[in-house]
């Protein structure tokens, strides 16, 4: 198998950034809902998660979609947001609560009805998607709780992270499942966050499955966005954490980041499991063209999911790559927060249809994997290209240590 460390070009900023990033297989990286002390991929993807997914899909499929769409479409909040534009229904998804002890009692917490806006698009990383509007409803479908305009595009242009595929051709071994586990970091800011429009710092931590390298072909992804909005040119406000899922260039799904909503917030130090799966994976719907994405907060005990989305096609028949990415989203608009300490992320991928096939793809060369660094970008200040991520030692326990190179203002 092959592990590739990746980066897109970083945005130009007026400050030098030095951040320590460690991706580790430590069991402390995330608390497991099944309570297993085992530090194995099978234990960390586990039967509990699959039971919750199965129940989630059952709850979502029982929703009267016609009624949900009708309520959303005729709400005053939606009509105001869509004013002057045509629109079309795009997707119905949900956030559910659950009992972590029994791995059950999955209960509909919130419905999310997505629409695309005609004639308004966003582009990033070679992908163009329509602007969207998400309408959040209570479970009884009697009330619209909020409306959000979807303008966040989780690009794969300004990023650094890990991708893994089969080493021979990267197109002969399908990946049926991908997951990352991490604790949400607490971030800080300084004047670099408000030195220029749009006056904010932002970073996003996500997991994905895609047909090709760099998210090409199609990409299904999910994660947490961390934003520090600045209210003036002298100060910034509290950090905003938003969970989301996104589908890019799918057969029937090409959407900007779909937010999970403020009713189910993320907090710093929360244990997050972001994962994607194929319909042929254990407990799936049996359709190999379908994929779904989830964000699970194992501290606050909620699960936000996309439902099944038609992604694969004759041209792009399956996902062969798994991703674990930290990036500056929204087309590289903003510097990342100036300090977020050490972040421990556990990346997992499954080249088979059950959790017994799952592997940690930070396992080093001695365990049958390869790793190399392609974080190589042009530095305007030096008039030459340098590695903007310095990769440290690959330890026998699978830990990768990375240090942002602060020798260039990109």
Strand partners, 370: 2
The count of other CB atoms within 10 Å of the CB of residue 288 is 17
- Which residue do the tokens 């991490």 mark? 182
- What's the confidence (pLDDT) of residue 200? 81
Strands (E), 71-143: 87-99, 104-124, 127-137
- What's the confidence (pLDDT) of residue 387? 57
Mean pLDDT of the region 176-190 = 85
Percent of the chain with pLDDT over 90: 47
- What's the confidence (pLDDT) of residue 186? 84
pLDDT in tens, 70-111: 999 999 999 999 999 999 999 999 999 999 999 999 999 999
The count of other CB atoms within 10 Å of the CB of residue 365 is 11
As given in the structure block, the two tokens for residue 306 are 């996309």
pLDDT in tens, 271-298: 999 999 999 999 999 999 999 999 999 9
Give the strand pairing for 2-7 and 370-373: parallel
What are the C-alpha distances in Å from 368 to residues 96, 307, 322, 359, 362?
39, 34, 17, 11, 11
Could you tell me which residues come within 8 angstroms of residue 258 by beta carbon, excluding any fewer than 6 positions away?
91, 93, 112, 114, 132, 134, 150, 244, 245, 246, 306
Provide the CATH number for the domain formed by 2-46+151-404 in this structure: 2.60.120.700
pLDDT in tens, 231-270: 777 788 888 999 999 999 999 999 999 999 989 999 999 9
pLDDT in tens, 339-371: 665 667 777 889 899 999 888 776 543 333 344
Q: What angle do CA 391, 397, 403 make, to 5 degrees?
A: 20
The answer to whether residues 343 and 271 touch, using CB atoms and an 8 Å cutoff, is no
Strand partners, 290: 310
């Amino acid at each position: 198998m092959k592990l590739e460390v990746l980066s897109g070009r970083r945005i130009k900023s007026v400050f030098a950034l030095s951040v320590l990033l460690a991706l580790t297989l430590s069991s402390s990286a995330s608390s497991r809902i099944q309570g297993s002390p085992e530090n194995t991929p099978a234990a960390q993807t586990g039967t509990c998660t699959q039971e919750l997914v199965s129940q989630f899909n059952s709850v979502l499929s029982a929703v009267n979609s016609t009624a949900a769409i009708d309520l959303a479409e005729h709400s005053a909040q939606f009509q105001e947001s869509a004013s002057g534009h045509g629109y079309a229904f795009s997707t119905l998804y949900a956030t559910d609560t659950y009992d972590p002890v029994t791995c059950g009692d999955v209960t509909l917490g919130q419905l999310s009805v997505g629409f695309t806006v005609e004639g308004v698009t966003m582009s990033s990383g070679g992908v163009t998607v329509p602007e969207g509007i998400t309408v959040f409803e209570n479970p009884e479908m009697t009330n619209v709780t909020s409306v959000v305009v979807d303008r966040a595009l989780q690009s794969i242009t300004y990023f650094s992270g890990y991708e893994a595929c089969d080493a021979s051709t990267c197109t002969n071994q399908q990946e049926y499942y991908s997951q990352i586990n991490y604790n949400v970091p607490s971030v800080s800011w300084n004047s670099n966050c408000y030195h220029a429009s749009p006056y904010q710092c932002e970073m996003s931590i996500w997991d994905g499955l895609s047909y090709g390298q760099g998210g090409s072909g199609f990409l299904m992804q999910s994660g947490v966005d961390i934003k520090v909005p600045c209210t003036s040119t002298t100060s910034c406000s509290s950090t905003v954490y938003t969970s989301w899922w996104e589908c890019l260039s799918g057969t029937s799904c090409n959407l900007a980041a779909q937010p999970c909503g403020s009713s189910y917030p993320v907090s710093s130090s929360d244990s997050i499991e972001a994962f994607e799966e194929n319909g042929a994976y254990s407990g799936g719907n049996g359709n190999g063209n379908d994929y779904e994405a989830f964000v699970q907060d194992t501290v606050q005990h909620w699960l936000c999911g996309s439902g099944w989305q038609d992604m694969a096609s004759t041209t792009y028949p399956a996902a062969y790559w798994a991703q674990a990415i930290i990036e500056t989203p929204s087309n590289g608009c903003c510097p990342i927060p100036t300090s977020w300490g050490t972040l421990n992320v556990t990346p997992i991928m499954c080249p088979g249809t059950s959790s017994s096939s799952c592997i940690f793809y930070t396992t080093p060369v001695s365990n049958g994997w390869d790793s190399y660094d392609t974080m190589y970008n042009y530095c305007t200040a030096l008039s030459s290209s340098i590695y903007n991520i310095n990769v440290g030692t690959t330890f026998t326990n699978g830990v990768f240590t990375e240090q942002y190179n602060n020798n260039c203002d990109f």
